[in-house]
Structures are given as structure tokens and as C-alpha cells.
Structure 1
Amino acid sequence: MGNALKSDEIQFRIRYGETDQMGVVYHGNYAQYFEMGRTEWLRKFGVSYRQMEEEGIMLPVVSLSVNFKKSARYDDQVRVVTTLAKIPSASIEFDYEIFNAENELLTTGKTVLAFIDMERNRPTRCPKYILDQLQN
């Protein structure tokens, strides 16, 4: 995989219910935007949460950071770019960038998710099939 870390992007329009009285996206919604980006990223690269859970692996978020540069507002068309930060081990890290339709960077973020063996409720290594999938 080298330094060409894998990225994917999704686009959507900000809904009224995601904003506060000033028409600005409520800060708590960014965690959901990151989750949407991450879920599509995993799907694109052949990894399904459902498949992992069926195989006894959970992937909880253990760290979340968000940096706000400019407000996203009601009815904005936004683009979430999700990038794998590094090759997964016992955790998987994603970087996020959210842009508006004018391609202005609105928000950056990072999440770290841990691979957890559901039976033992203990951290475990990234499943081999995921690493294999990422090499392709």
C-alpha cells in the first residue's frame, strides 16, 4: 500500500434538523458525518461492519477529534473525504476533511477505532482478510 493511503468521498446536503437556531450545523452532528464517511469507506474497500460482527469483532470508536474552520449551514452541499491514516493493527485510524460546494475546507477530524474480540471483550488485531483487502 505504501504512502498512497486509500481515500473515498461521499456527498450530501445538510438537512434543517442538523442545524441550530443560527442555521449552522450543530457540532455533535460531525461525529455522524464521519461515521457516514467511514462506513462507505469500509464498504468501498470490501469491509462490512455486519460481516465483522458476525465473525465476533466489534469496532468501537475510542478517540474522536474535530477541528472547525468554517461553518457548514443548512442546505449546503458538502463532501466528506475519508482517508485511512495508516495500516491497521489493533486499531484503525481515519482522517476526515469536509468541504462545501465551493471546495472550501470546513472541518477536519480524526477517529481511532479498536478491533475488539466480542467473546473475550478484549482488543485484538485487525482481521487478516481486512489487511488482505486493503493490499488490493
Structure 2
Amino acid sequence: MGWSGHGCARTHYHLPMTSFEHLLRVRYGETDQMGVAHHSSYILYMEEARTRLLAHLGSAYSELEQAGLALPVRRVEVRYRSALRFEDELLVRPRVSRLGGASVTFSYEMIRATDGELVANGLTELACVRLKPGGLVPVPLPEALHSLLESVS
């Protein structure tokens, strides 16, 4: 779809699309000295699930960038509930929780696959911008992208 018009990850798709899941495995390099997944890794897990969701919907980030657009994160939140360790499998469930004219907010549930325990909740807010020499210019989400995001909100 045009806009000018890790580890052993796999993605699961269930109907309806609001139940999209992305499965990741915690890698050794994502853990701290105590063997626990570093707090910054959760942001990467959310990003991976979000980009996989968008790709599945037919909206690859690379296509947006080729059209001169980007979706930079302007806000991120993570609420940690339980520790993940090396080689734990993690299900990340992203969904659109708010859709504006020029921004989108995704919420995430992160669940340990082996026992179903909720290990973290998260949120990312992204703004739509045009990539211009010398800076970023806020612009409305392309109509096609807005429609795709509506389908999973």
C-alpha cells in the first residue's frame, strides 16, 4: 500500500484484528546483571509489535518513509507488573486506543506466554509528520492509513 499513495519472533493473527498478538523471546542481551529483562527492552517489544501490526495491515514504515512521512513517538509509558527473564516468551497485544487527525495512540498488554501472567502495560503516542529538509512538519494522517487504524481501534 503506497502513501503517495528479533530473536525468534512470530506473529499470530486472530479475528477480529483487535486481538492481534506478536510473540517474542527475551534475548540474553536484553537482560540486566540480575538476569531480568531491562526496563528499556519493553519499549522495544512494544515497537516491534506495533510495526508488525502495521505491516500486517499493509502499512509498512518503509512505505511511509518513501512517501516522505514518519510516525515519531512523542510519548511512551510502561507500567511494569512482573519480571521477564532470559528466554521467556512474551505475547505483546497492541491495539489502537485513540485515533486523532494527525496522531495515533497505541496501548499494549504484555503477557508471559508460558503462564498467561500480565507482566506490563504500555502506551505509545505517535504523531504524523512530513520529513522536510531542516525539520519535521506535522501533517494529518493519510486517509488510507487513518482507515486502516480505525479498523483496529
Tell me, yes or no, whether TM beats 0.5: yes
1:7 offset after TM fit, Å?
A: 4.1
Which of 75, 78, 84 matches 1:72?
A: 84
TM superposition score normalised by structure 2: 0.80
Gaps spanning 5+ residues in structure 1: where? none
- For structure 2, the residue ranges without an aligned partner over 5 or more in a row are 1-15
Supply the AA of the counterpart residue of 1:76.
Answer: D
Q: Does 1:114 align with 2:127?
A: yes
Contact 2:128/2:140, CA 8 A, preserved across alignment: yes
C-alpha distance in structure 2 between counterparts of 1:135 and 1:13, whole Å = 29
Q: What's the offset of the Cα at 1:132?
A: 3.0
Percent of aligned pairs with the same amino acid:
34
Number of residue pairs matched?
133
Segments ≥4 residues shifted beyond 4 Å: none
Deviations 1:99-118 (A, max 9, x none): 11200000000000110011
Structure 1 position 125 matched with structure 2 position 137: no
Separation in 2, partners of 1:6, 1:88? 18
Residue range with higher mean Cα deviation, 116-125 or 88-97:
116-125
Using the size of structure 1 for normalisation, the TM-score is: 0.90
Match 2:68 to one of 56, 67, 87: 56
CA contact (8 A) 1:5 1:85 kept: no
Higher-RCO chain (CA-CA 8 Å, sequence separation at least 6): 1
Aligned-pair Cα RMSD in Å = 1.7
Contact kept, 8 Å, 1:7 with 1:41, in 2: the verdict is no
Distance (whole Å) between structure 2 residues aligned to residue 131 and residue 97 of structure 1: 22
